Amino acid sequence: MFDALIVDKDADGQVRAGVQRIAVDRLPAGNVTVAIECSTVNYKDGLCLGSGGGLVRTWPHVPGIDFAGTVEVSDDPRYAPGDRVVLTGWRVGEARWGGYAQKARVDADWLVPLPDGLTPRQAMAVGTAGLTAMLAVMALEDHGIKDGPVLVTGAAGGVGSVATALLAALGHPVAAVTGRPEAADYLMSLGATEVVARADLAETSRKPLEAERWGGCVDAVGGAMLARVLGQMRYGASVAAVGLAGGSDLPATVIPFLLRGVNLLGIDSVMQPFVARQKAWARIARDLPLDRLEAMIVPATLSDLPRLGADILAGRVRGRVVVDVN
């Protein structure tokens, strides 16, 4: 038997979430069983803790798109009992049972060995949000980060916090955009060199090009802010588009692409192949300062999750939640 946070839909369509003790034989099919140590809360988890927002396929459901722990049983030659592993993405926690439980059974293809130097707790402080931030920074590096501050939007959120700490540790000046003025000290402690008020970038400009300001951008917000930022990029600079916290539309013109050679780079963390994941996790273990990661952590347990799900959808979570499932 083990504890799991089960989300279920009752006959009148109401979604309820609660911790239940369930039998191991209720785990889905898979060739590796993992004893989970920690999970986390990403924006998508907020959706799956409620009605699912179209992501959840069957009920009852165990959400949790990320987990880290120790292999308990393995029918796959790549993993043996006692190996420490991390899982993010692959629609685990959405279309399949995920990490809000003390055990998970999954396909070995979805796992990554925990990189040396990271504990399961630290790996979950990173989670999908942090892995995505790393993938975004690597995409910017591949295309060349130009002079001038690198802009991070949605900076006090999960992706933004890790992107800010990573970019600062790599020696880039970081301009952190936030709608929460009270988060300014937190963002400076992560290494931001300036804080930009969300309101300054909230509306599209009437001019397709403004003064060149940013040497790169990790954008977790999308919408009007992304459109505005495109017109402020330095010549040849790139924006890594990661999220849609502010909207999925893009009310922009193509002028920044044509006259300034600006690049818009799409970042997906869910279906990344194994080798790319391993490379990103190795970079995280090497480049992310662990004291700054520690400063982002909000500790939680399984029973806190329904509240935290609502909080992340409302933009009230600062940094990264780490859920101790035991």
Distance of CA 109 to the CA centre of its chain: 20
Do the Cβ atoms of 279 and 130 come closer than 8 Å?
no
Q: Which of the 8 DSSP states describes residue 65? A: S
From 84, 96, 105, 198, residue interacting with ligand NDP (rule: CB under 6 A): 198
Is residue 256 part of the contact set for ligand NDP (CB under 6 A)? no
Is residue 317 part of the contact set for ligand NDP (CB under 6 A)? yes
Give the amino acid at 322: V
Smallest gap from Cβ 245 to ligand NDP, in A, equals 3
CA proximity to 325, closest of 305, 307, 295:
305
CA proximity to 286, closest of 142, 149, 146, 134:
134
Measure the CA–CA gap between 42 and 132, rounded to whole angstroms: 11
Q: Hunting for tokens 């504890």 — which residue is that?
A: 3
Smallest gap from Cβ 176 to ligand NDP, in A, equals 7
Helices 274-287 + 158-169 axis angle, to 10: 60
From 33, 74, 132, 164, residue interacting with ligand NDP (rule: CB under 6 A): 132
Is residue 195 part of the contact set for ligand NDP (CB under 6 A)? no
Q: Which of the 8 DSSP states describes residue 108? A: G
Q: Among 37-45, 56-64, 104-112, 140-148, which window interacts with ligand NDP (CB under 6 A)?
A: 37-45
Nearest residue to ligand NDP, using CB? 157
Question: What is the footprint of ligand NDP within residues 219-238 (CB under 6 A)?
Answer: 220-221, 225
Is residue 134 part of the contact set for ligand NDP (CB under 6 A)? no
- Judged by DSSP in three states, 15 sits in strand
Smallest gap from Cβ 259 to ligand NDP, in A, equals 26
Smallest gap from Cβ 140 to ligand NDP, in A, equals 14
Question: What is the footprint of ligand NDP within residues 257-276 (CB under 6 A)?
Answer: 267-270
From 63, 148, 215, 243, residue interacting with ligand NDP (rule: CB under 6 A): 243
